[in-house]
Structure formats: C-alpha cells, structure tokens
Amino acid sequence: MSTRLVVVRHGETEWNVASRIQGHADSPLTPAGLAQAQAIAARLSGERFDRLLSSDLGRAWRTAQAIAARTGHAIQPEPRLRERNYGLAEGLTYGEIGVHYPEIFSRVRDTDPDYVVPGGESRRQMYERVSGAFESLARAHDGERLAVVCHGGVLAMLYRHVQGIPVGAAQPIPIPNASYNALVFDGGQWSVEAWADTAHLEATEPFVEP
C-alpha cells in the first residue's frame, strides 16, 4: 500500500506581494490569491482524496476553505505544518532581514541550519518538525489519498527531505502560490509525481526558497 499526497501552497498574500516574512504571523489573501485558491479548488474537485488537512495559520486555512467548499471535505488542522517561526523577524522585508538578521538565510552561500531566529526556530528545527510530520501522516494514512495545504517553507523542507538535499545548502526550489505538488510514499521511500504544477492557474509569481 502507498499514500499519495497532493501538497498545496496557500494563495498569494499581501505580505507575499510586499516581500515581508510572515512566519507564524499572517496577512490576508490578495484578490489574486483568492482567485488562485478557487483555481486549485476547482482542480482538486476533479480528484478523489480521502482527507483534507491544513496548517492552522489563516492564509493556509483560507485556501483550504476554498477547497472544502468545492469538495465537501472537513478540514483537519495540522499545526506541525505551520511556516517557520521567524520570531522577531516576522513582518520585516527581505532587505530589512538582511540588515538585522543576516544569518537567517542566504541566496549565495550555505546557511547555518542551527541559527535560531530570536524568538523563533532554526531551519533545522523546522526541517525536523516538517519532515517528521509528513512521515507520520504518510504512515498513519497508509493506502489513503491526502490533500494538504501549507506554506512555501514547508514545501521546501519536504522537497529537501524527499530529495536528500542538506538542510543548510543553498538550493533554489520553485514553489508557486497555489501550486499542485504530488508525492507518493510507499512505506519506505518517497517519490515525486508532480512539482510546482500551475496548469490550473493563468499566471502566478513563483516562490523560490532563499
């Protein structure tokens, strides 16, 4: 038996547009983000899946609500799939973070995976939380098909886990808002069926993990 997961990033938010770090904080979906949520909902309405799970942060939950409205599933909250806790850096722009907290991440060099954002968590702590969550969900729902709504950083950690990419290595990973990402766990190994698929969207601005 195997478990199939379709993992979706939330729709575009106001802070996505402003290039502000959200973390455990939140901002509303933009009109484009709401349209993206409806588009991924329409796509998933044509597929069979057994459960709909979502991060309990508002932007993911709002996207999951659009899916639930089309498919009739109850949404199961999954706090382990929250975005990374960026602590005091939440609400800052990428430029401001580069000045105040340059060790959070880097686009040009390896990042210290054990650097803890003041008031937040390290990249390694997030990686262990996210990879552990997906492993346990896949094993607990053997033979089922799951739809999961979460965040760009969560998808990046899942991709690293599946592909064996070191947690601190600089590695651009495309993760568009409301993208369709399908993975299968066969009980011992993960495989990727689809990644960053936006066929259901007319246009989107991809998130790329720093």
Look at residues 135, 118, 117 and name the one whose alpha carbon lies nearest to residue 188: 135
Distance CA 200, CA 35 (A): 11
Strand 180-185 with 3-9, pairing? antiparallel
- Active-site residue, 83 included: yes
Question: What three-state secondary structure class fits 93?
Answer: strand
Q: Write down the catalytic residue from 12, 24, 47, 83.
A: 83
Distance CA 51, CA 141 (A): 9
Q: What interhelical angle do 31-44 and 58-71 show, nearest 10?
A: 40
Phi-psi region of 139 (alpha: psi -120 to 50; beta: other; left: phi over 0): alpha
Active-site residue numbers? 10, 83
